[in-house]
Chain A
Amino acid sequence: MMQKWTRVSRRMLFTWCLLGGLICMFAPPSLTNKLQLAYTYAFSWPLAAGQRVSLASRAVSPLGGVNDTGSGETVTERQRRMNRIANLEAQLRETRQQIDQLGRIRAVPQWDRMSFLPADITISGQTQDVLFINRGQQDGVAVGQYVMGDMSIIGTVSSVSAQTAKVKLITDPASKVPVTLGESDLARVMEGRPGNVAKVPFVPTSYPVAKGTKVYAKKIPGLLDAPIIAAQVIQCRSDPENPSLLDITVQPVCDISALSRVTVIVPSPHQ
């Protein structure tokens, strides 16, 4: 076996590897998505833990120092107890966050008809177009379902495995989300663009759209039973190619990069 390996010329080895890379590149996304989902599932625990530590390090100041008076054993015991308290506080904080998150969601009467599934982000893509969550088919997650972060729509589920799912964010250039603009019933499709923004095309200049106008994900029976805010207009000008239309640029209303937890909107069991 070893001899066979060494007998293969470098040129041939390089060609094989390159071919493997090209196969991966031009393979159907459903196959490559499965590979990525398998990776996030296999290492979901260290990835989620690392993500939480990484986010916490940005926001939380270090714990107070320990009073080092007394014998070494007492100090060690005290430190151990303080660590235990800190761990319990962290658990309590997390549980409260979940209760608070679900409580805020339930506070909106129309949302009673929808079920919400909290999920942890295991990987957030560097270009912030996709993220992976630790919920999958076994939890009732399916392709096309909406995903919320900080009480706003941030994307839709694009592929799903048994225990993980990939979320295509609204800023992904391949993302197309039906939306309504402001108070009007004008329905359009919001398309993602590079740079953490999205565009809402084909809006006539006659519609009152200005900077700050809110963009809502359109109600879709079975998927979304009430409109939910998704983005906000950050730039609105006349389209240089077609002066009768507006060129509208929008931005998500929540800082997706700072999220560690999201909520998937799954069909309600009552329906």
Chain B
Amino acid sequence: MRWFRFAVLVLIATILQTSLVGMVSLRGVRPDLLLILLVFFAISIDPRDAIVASFAVGFAADLSNPIRGLMGPQIISFGILGTLLSDVHSIMSIQRMAHLAVTVFVIGSLTALLSYLLTFFRAEPATAHFAAQLLWQPLYSAVLGPFLFFPIAWWMRISRKGRKRRRPGLW
């Protein structure tokens, strides 16, 4: 795993997410670049590295776009679901564009749901944007995500054939 390239990529995605991504928003819904990165790394790199990468992407998400000003909900939700996806990918290959799109959508919805539930521990979550975060943002990301996997793979020098399947080893 090339961690320096990873750090640069996450940093660029974080800055773009909070600034220029607004240019491609549709009715206020923006694609989530960090979600796309999460799915990419969960299915493309070693499961051990995928854990660290998932939590790091979650940290970047919380830093740049905190839900209700809190840090933590997205670190935990991205970390758990990234690790879970990495394990699922060990037993079930996700390679086709359609499958990738569905994966981005499902993981996006689940991270939004988990972040929403975790926010209850510290504050009252914002219900008004919940539908957009649960449905429309993952949907937009799912449409865009598979196409962004190619430049990300090129930058990370990762073969898009993906890692070999192996037995899950976390639990």
Whether A86 is near chain B, meaning CB under 8 Å from some CB there, is: no
Q: Are A11 and B72 in contact (CB under 8 A)?
A: no
Residues of B within 8 A of A57 (CB): 23
Task: Tell me, in angstroms, the Cα distance from A183 to B122 when the chains sit together.
Answer: 37
Q: Are A43 and B15 in contact (CB under 8 A)?
A: yes
Q: Are B121 and A125 in contact (CB under 8 A)?
A: no
Q: Are B127 and A47 in contact (CB under 8 A)?
A: no
**Which of these, A35, A129, A195, contacts B68 with CB under 8 Å?**
A129
Q: Are B68 and A127 in contact (CB under 8 A)?
A: yes
**Which of these, A18, A53, A195, contacts B23 with CB under 8 Å?**
A53
CB within 8 Å of B: which A29-87 residues: 29, 32-33, 35-36, 39, 43, 46-47, 49-51, 53-55, 57
Task: Tell me, in angstroms, the Cα distance from A20 to B83 when the chains sit together.
Answer: 15
Q: Are B19 and A49 in contact (CB under 8 A)?
A: yes
Whether B160 is near chain A, meaning CB under 8 Å from some CB there, is: no
Q: Decide: A173 near B124, CB < 8 A? Known: A22-B72, A125-B69.
A: yes
Nearest-neighbor residue (CB-CB) of B55 within chain A: A17
Q: Are B65 and A126 in contact (CB under 8 A)?
A: yes
Chain-A contact segment, one of B36-44, B56-64, B94-102, B142-150: B56-64
Q: Are B19 and A25 in contact (CB under 8 A)?
A: no
Q: Are A50 and B69 in contact (CB under 8 A)?
A: no
Whether A130 is near chain B, meaning CB under 8 Å from some CB there, is: yes
Q: Are B170 and A14 in contact (CB under 8 A)?
A: yes
Nearest-neighbor residue (CB-CB) of A8 within chain B: B48
Q: Tell me whether chain A's interface is mostly helix, strand or loop, or mixed.
A: helix
Task: Tell me, in angstroms, the Cα distance from A170 to B70 when the chains sit together.
Answer: 17
Task: Tell me, in angstroms, the Cα distance from A123 to B19 when the chains sit together.
Answer: 7
Pick from A36, A46, A127, A166 the residue with the most CB of B within 10 Å. A127
Whether A108 is near chain B, meaning CB under 8 Å from some CB there, is: no
- Chain B nearest CB from A44 CB (Å) reads 11
Residues of A within 8 A of B83 (CB): 14
Q: Are B23 and A54 in contact (CB under 8 A)?
A: yes
Task: Tell me, in angstroms, the Cα distance from A77 to B67 when the chains sit together.
Answer: 48
Whether B118 is near chain A, meaning CB under 8 Å from some CB there, is: yes
Whether A196 is near chain B, meaning CB under 8 Å from some CB there, is: yes
Q: Are A10 and B51 in contact (CB under 8 A)?
A: yes
Task: Tell me, in angstroms, the Cα distance from A195 to B123 when the chains sit together.
Answer: 15
Whether B129 is near chain A, meaning CB under 8 Å from some CB there, is: yes
Q: Decide: A10 near B69, CB < 8 A? Known: A50-B18, A129-B126.
A: no
Nearest-neighbor residue (CB-CB) of A54 within chain B: B22
Task: Tell me, in angstroms, the Cα distance from A17 to B77 when the chains sit together.
Answer: 12
Q: Decide: A126 near B129, CB < 8 A? Known: A25-B75, A50-B15.
A: yes
Interface string of B119-135 (1 = CB under 8 A from A): 00111111111000100
Whether A13 is near chain B, meaning CB under 8 Å from some CB there, is: yes
Q: Are B123 and A21 in contact (CB under 8 A)?
A: no
Task: Tell me, in angstroms, the Cα distance from A172 to B68 when the chains sit together.
Answer: 8
Residues of A within 8 A of B126 (CB): 127, 129, 173, 194-195
Q: Mind listing 14 A-B residue pairs with CB under 8 Å?
A: A10-B169, A24-B75, A25-B122, A36-B66, A46-B19, A50-B15, A50-B20, A53-B19, A53-B23, A54-B21, A125-B66, A127-B67, A194-B125, A257-B28
Q: Which residues of A contact B (CB under 8 A)?
A: 6, 10-11, 13-14, 17-18, 20-22, 24-27, 29, 32-33, 35-36, 39, 43, 46-47, 49-51, 53-55, 57, 123, 125-130, 158, 166, 168, 172-174, 194-196, 257
Known contacts A32-B71, A195-B128; can you find 18 more A-B pairs with CB under 8 A? A10-B47, A11-B170, A18-B76, A20-B55, A24-B59, A25-B70, A26-B72, A39-B63, A46-B15, A47-B18, A51-B22, A53-B20, A54-B22, A123-B18, A123-B64, A123-B65, A195-B127, A257-B28
